[in-house]
Chain A
């Protein structure tokens, strides 16, 4: 195991070791051992997509929306500021 998923429906997991390109990232979701192959290097404690995330779609961690994909993200890609951003203008429930 070299990654942690916070909630089963999350679309990203956090790697717990530095990951090299083509390395397999494994984590446990529920009782099942899951894996995804990194398509690029992932720094320790950063996020990797475990499924494809379309541009404009929510990135889900902790079972919650933590930001939008700013471009198409493929499973195995590093998810960070280069392909994801906050949507602070759309704060729900303020009015």
Chain B
């Protein structure tokens, strides 16, 4: 199986050819946004950070932002800083150059001399990148060059037995074809760590999966939050979920049945093939962002109640097993798996159809989150702002 993607000089492959404009710090977000308002071909990547974070959180922010820019879907980027912030030009460039050699420009408001001058300069740089990006052509790429992130949010009881099952089927098909799929959201696996342990490709990876979940649980316990005792929630129980194991197995179910080949950290660059586990928060936006920062070119997002979540760098495709949601929220749902519930289609048939649709999206078909121009951004952090 193949798709048509953009080959980048750093070896990555993109399914989009975006020019990103990103504030280097929240203080310069207004200038970055203005550049994008004036140039429809510029893609705005909101950045809530850039300053006032401790060392550990600054590293996390840099890992994510450099990863987003390095994503194969991005041709090049313009970073619009303020000038006095903690993450200076050299810090950004160091982090980015560890991952990619693509064109990245940096300007700052204090150096350019105000808003107007910064916006004009930023527009010039975007136009320069646009001329170069237009020279890129899609080329035939093997499915082994695709990295697909799996996410869920706004779940309802249909998620566990319809869309998650279909996504698991697609994950198996992709892995068998040599592609990479990534499951994440460690807190959601609490209660299913013994199942994950059995799914490691070898004993060491199984233990690594198990340890990641236990460590996550301890982290929450230290913060005074006992995930085991508050789950399943009263709402979950009313919806038919009886135990934490049932809820957690339902969550990891969307990763299909293939063995996990590794566990990687939040936003870490994805280098392995096969099914991977990324150790992330269960906050769907922050988890989606981490996988895209790791290199995922596309996210398939299962939902029951429906959510419009999107990302600047990659298409976020919504699938639901709740037919009512698919109809009522038609402008945010991309794929309806409810035929698996009525028995009209088998999980395998729906898996084939979804895979076909994913390839169409890889080849350029826009998902609803792109049509709706949604660019959500959240980055995990350990501490309060300084």
Contacts and interface: CB of A to CB of B under 8 A. Distances in A.
A43 B210 CA distance: 34
A62 B249 contact: yes
B242 A79 contact: yes
Interface string B141-166: 00000000000000001101110010
Given A28-B343, A81-B237, A93-B197, A64 B245 contact: yes
Contacts of B237: 80-81
A46 B161 CA distance: 12
A61 B237 CA distance: 16
A67 B239 contact: no
A45 B236 CA distance: 11
B341 A4 contact: yes
A87 B157 CA distance: 22
Interface residues of B, number: 29
Contacts of B343: 1, 28
Contacts of A65: 245
**Interface size band for A:** 20 to 34
B103 interface: no
B243 A14 contact: no
Given A81-B237, A93-B197, A47 B228 contact: no
Contact of B246 (A16, A44, A67, A91): A67
Interface in B197-240: 197, 210, 214, 228, 237, 239-240
B243 A84 contact: yes
Interface stretch (B69-77, B188-196, B368-376): B188-196
B249 A66 contact: yes
B250 interface: yes
Given A45-B240, A64-B195, A86-B191, 18 more contacts: A1-B341, A4-B161, A4-B341, A16-B161, A44-B240, A47-B242, A66-B242, A66-B245, A67-B246, A79-B242, A80-B237, A80-B240, A81-B242, A84-B242, A84-B243, A85-B243, A86-B243, A88-B191
Q: A-B pairs with the 7 shortest C-beta distances?
A: A45-B157, A46-B240, A86-B243, A1-B343, A66-B246, A67-B243, A45-B240
